[in-house]
Amino acid sequence: MLLSLKKAGKYKLTISLGRTEPMAELLNGLNLSFNDNRKLKKIISSKSKTDLEEFFKSKGLNSRSLLEIKNLMAVCGKIECLKFLKKHKNKIFKDSAKKIEKIIKNLPSSVDYHLDFSDFPGFDYHSGLVFSVHVAEFGFSIAKGGQYKSIQNDIVREAIGFDINVSSLTKLNQKK
């Protein structure tokens, strides 16, 4: 995908990377309704700690889970931000850090990256890697996607899908 986007123009690309497993682990432990879970994800993506605290208080949720989510919201930036995940007692958190590090080490040197473990571009069916691709001075992502699992006839199939915003690419190429 990155190579295709590079061929579409001479722009500096930044890929935003994250993994869904740590946040899913925390959210599943809260036993929220579908609508409350969706509302909470929206609050988390907005990174509003005040709204998060108000939500937890209104639902009578425990402060330990609140702290864990706040800590995960802080996993944002460059590779150094993975310290929280690496030191976490939960294996899912540690494994997520290792998987992201492996991706970062294999990125082309011409592609910058940003990590964010609480902003998930795309859809609720992603399970694992999530990403979006951005171009400097362009207000929104030009591509996004992630990993998902499908179960058919008791067989689990994993895949990675993405979509490229063709109209955005056209606008970028007109700026040249």
CATH number at residue 85: 3.30.930.10
pLDDT digits (tens, 9 = 90+) for 72-100: 999 999 999 999 999 999 999 999 999 99
- The residue with greater pLDDT, 24 or 6, is 24
* H/E run at residue 59: helix 49-59
- pLDDT tens across 15-31, in order? 999 999 999 999 999 99
Are 79 and 65 members of one domain? Answer: no
Query: Same domain for 11 and 59?
Result: no
CA 150 to chain centroid, in Å, comes to: 19
| SS3 at position 145 | strand
Same domain, 80 and 165: yes
Strand partners, 152: 155
Give the end of a domain, one of 73, 104, 134. 73
Can you tell me the distance from the alpha carbon of 24 to that of 128, in angstroms, rounded to the nearest whole number?
10
Query: Which residues, other chains included, contact 155 with Cβ-Cβ below 8 Å and sequence gap of 6+?
Result: none
Q: Would you give the DSSP letter of residue 124?
A: T
Model confidence over 98-107: pLDDT tens digits?
A: 999 999 999 9
Answer yes or no: is pLDDT of 6 > 80.
no
Predicted TM-score (pTM) of the model is 0.83
pLDDT at 112 over 60: yes
* Interval 34-73: pLDDT, tens: 999 999 999 998 999 999 999 999 999 999 999 999 999 9
Give how many domains the chain has, as a whole number: 2
Domain boundary among 73, 91, 114: 73
| Residue 6 shares a structural domain with residue 62 | no
> Residue 64 belongs to what domain range?
22-73
Torsion from C-alpha of 18, 128, 2, 168, nearest 10 degrees: -70
Domain end among 32, 51, 73: 73
